[in-house]
Structure 1
């Protein structure tokens, strides 16, 4: 709180000095009678002419404003103390590492809308492997969709069991069903790894 107040006072004093310099007024700190003796005498080897004047808004004494301490805007601390960062978020424990094998059980995939209807699957995992893929929903509103799915779904199931992943080939003539099958299968596999 104290640092914030000092920083605010230093900023206000700097703003007043900058506005005064722009308007052509002299600040009390630039009056030689008000400066400490050390600020009035030039540093050896330099001249204190107008070319050496500090830039507008700069405070040669570091005082900032009348009545302000020379350390306004600066922080000092006793020798031998350590500086620590302000308290932020508390340290969190490391997240549980992802599973490297699927958990045993039955996991439903997301229902995926494709042209002509939804495709939704569930997988059965035993011993960390997919042992069965069940179709919970598939396009069935049109007789042609039923005919295509009766041919495509067993092929997709066999490929999924062989690959043990959703990285399977699309069945020719059943592009929509195949894409929905892969997406629903992948979401079920993801759930098996996250369980």
Structure 2
């Protein structure tokens, strides 16, 4: 009887082991999977960092750039979160008033020319401008020490005046026989015209 009972228990135990093996069960000791270490467990919602990723730069509490990282002159450096530096462009300076555009017409008024020294004395003129045009040329000074100079100027100066008013510029022909006076007349006239445009 005892033998029959032992045989029956052995058969039952063998059946349980066979069924357990077929169902995929094994002993608790062999099934225990190695648990991941706490240091290796990923943070929920964060992607794992690659193995070769560089460590973030250390914080710089003083805000002074490290040697070799000095920004260009005129730039502004601020410290951003996590110790990174942010360089911004320098603030633009306010624009100043644009220079006054040159006049395209002469200003009305009377304008003196420069005194120009010629062979026998000075030639100096003034012009009268009205409506943006020369309306008169006045001789303030002309060579007069010699009677010959006075004779030449009495003939040349009215001709030069007429040409200047007609041309509305100092680009006029010299009067024959009055080369020095003509040269001084044109230079003094041009300086008076320049003043009328710059006024």
- What TM-score range do you get, normalising by the shorter chain? 0.5 to 0.7
Q: Aligned pair 1:172/2:176, yes or no?
A: yes
Q: Classify the secondary structure of the residue corresponding to 1:72.
A: coil
Cα deviation per residue 1:99-152 (whole Å; 9 max; x = unaligned)? Answer: 111111111111111110000001111111000000000000011111111111
User: Following TM superposition, by how much is the alpha carbon of 1:70 offset from its aligned partner in structure 2, in angstroms?
Assistant: 9.4
The two structures, once aligned, show a CA RMSD in angstroms of 2.2
Q: Aligned pair 1:144/2:148, yes or no?
A: yes
What does 1:13-92 correspond to in 2, within 5 Å? 71-75=66-70, 77=77, 78-84=84-90, 91-92=95-96
Partner of 2:108: 104
- Give TM-score, length-normalised by structure 1: 0.59
Cα deviation per residue 1:43-97 (whole Å; 9 max; x = unaligned)? Answer: xxxxxxxxxxxxxxxxxxxxxxxxxx99325315455541327x88x74311110
Aligned length: 125
Partner of 1:116: 120
Gaps spanning 5+ residues in structure 1: where?
1-68
Query: In 2, distance between residues paired with 1:170 and 1:134?
Result: 17
Gaps spanning 5+ residues in structure 2: where?
1-63, 72-76, 78-83
> Quick check: which has more Rg, 1 or 2?
2
Query: In 2, distance between residues paired with 1:91 and 1:132?
Result: 42
Q: Aligned pair 1:127/2:131, yes or no?
A: yes
Structure 2 counterpart of 1:156, from 160, 163, 177: 160
